[in-house]
Amino acid sequence: MKGNRRSVFVSNVFENSIELLEGSWPTPLLKLRIGKDVWGKLEFYNPFSRSVKDRTAFFLFREALKKDIKWIAEASSGNTAIALASLSAIFGVKFTAFIPLTSPSSFKSVLSLLGAEYVEAGDRTTDLVPLVKEFAKRFGASNLDQFSNPVNVEAHYQTTAKEIWEQMESVGKKPRRIIATVGTGGHLAGMVKFFKEVDPTVKVVGVQPAEGERIPGIKRQSSDNPFLRSYPPDELVDVRFKDALNGIRAVASVDGILIGPSAGATVAAYLMEQTDDTTVLIFPDDVFKYLDEIPLESGEG
């Protein structure tokens, strides 16, 4: 180990939490050992929700601050709510989260620690959108609407996708394939928008739960997603929950990195069509918030 290693990191000091957030970008890009030329974008290095949703929340929240908003209400499966709760705590804004009954209990604990209110209802986040809109209208709160606000896409166009391009360039490579999961569709659409502009030959693959399957953090898409109508991926792949779990194990067993279920789904999609093309997998978050949903059995089969 080099003797001057400490001096490299001594400048990693931040005056406030927003500096910490922006200073965490670009998040690491790690070469993985599950294939010949495959890389993982480690979005759990974002400091608030430990997920890619810090980017979405920050861009949405920044726009809200321009309007001097004092109360925010938002529907979320969990990570966006945590990121918005963190930002609300920093800026002294009241925040009410609407989360599905199926959200892990860890999300509720974290929201409470951050001083946010939360309302549980429905099985899916999309079920909550009409409720949160009515709540915001009734009580004078502002609904940032991550599901249709184009700022969601712009956040990942300006940061996540651009970072990947520049990080690949720094090691003399160009990505030939990007694999990302679909929740709101924001970060996938941001990938499509960016990469089809800089190099239309880059293939952008979306990943969703198979019919009848549930994978925490992502959802099966319908034709009414406004982001994917504007920026459709080249392919949309179905993944089963058990395959996502095997994806988690595949990375953990050789790289020692504990990725979350949605990240495991990108690994599963990659392993379905494993090529030598330079491929980047977006790992939205890590496993720790979902430990209660990970079975102890091997997950094989």
pLDDT above 90 for 158: yes
Quick one: pLDDT at residue 297?
62
- Which helix (H) or strand (E) segment is 238 a member of? strand 235-239
Greater confidence, 251 or 297?
251
Mean pLDDT rounded to a whole number for the chain: 93
**How far, CA to CA in Å, does 203 sit from each of 194, 234, 288?**
12, 6, 31
* Domains with residue ranges and CATH for the chain: 14-46+152-293 (3.40.50.1100), 53-143 (3.40.50.1100)
One-letter-per-residue 3-state SS of 111-128: HHHCCCEEEECCCCHHHH
The helix/strand/coil state of 103 is coil
Strand duo 235-239 + 279-283: pairing? unpaired
Length of the chain: 301
Q: Which of 5-14, 33-42, 168-177 has the lowest mean pLDDT?
A: 5-14
Single-letter amino acid, residue 25: W
**At residue 142, what are phi and psi to the nearest 5 degrees?**
-105, 125
pLDDT band of residue 16 (cuts 50, 70, 90) is very high
What is the mean predicted confidence (pLDDT) over 79-102?
A: 96
Single-letter amino acid, residue 245: L
Alpha-carbon distance of 131 to 98, in angstroms, equals 8
Quick one: pLDDT at residue 95?
98
pLDDT band of residue 9 (cuts 50, 70, 90) is low
Quick one: pLDDT at residue 5?
46
278-290 tens-digit pLDDT: 999 999 999 999 9
H runs (alpha helix) in 200-273: 226-230, 241-255, 261-272
**At residue 191, what are phi and psi to the nearest 5 degrees?**
-65, -50
- Which helix (H) or strand (E) segment is 199 a member of? none
Question: Beta-strand (E) ranges in the chain?
Answer: 29-31, 38-42, 71-75, 94-99, 117-120, 142-143, 177-181, 203-209, 235-239, 279-283
Quick one: pLDDT at residue 8?
47
Phi-psi region of 145 (alpha: psi -120 to 50; beta: other; left: phi over 0): left
What is the mean predicted confidence (pLDDT) over 249-268?
A: 98
Tokens of 241: 């929950």
Greater confidence, 52 or 2?
52
Greater confidence, 47 or 12?
47
pLDDT above 50 for 136: yes
Going by C-beta distance under 8 Å and a sequence separation of 6 or more, which residues neighbour residue 70?
93, 94
User: Nearest-CA neighbor of 235 among 207, 261, 262?
Assistant: 207
**Could you tell me how far CA 55 lies from the centroid of its own chain?**
8
pLDDT above 60 for 23: yes
What is the mean predicted confidence (pLDDT) over 157-176?
A: 98
DSSP sequence for 8-34: HHTT---SSHHHHHHHTPSPPEEE-SS
Q: Could you tell me the sign of the dihedral formed by the alpha carbons of 169, 170, 175, 179, in that order?
A: negative
pLDDT above 90 for 292: no
* Whether the model pTM is above 0.85: yes
Quick one: pLDDT at residue 175?
98
pLDDT band of residue 1 (cuts 50, 70, 90) is very low
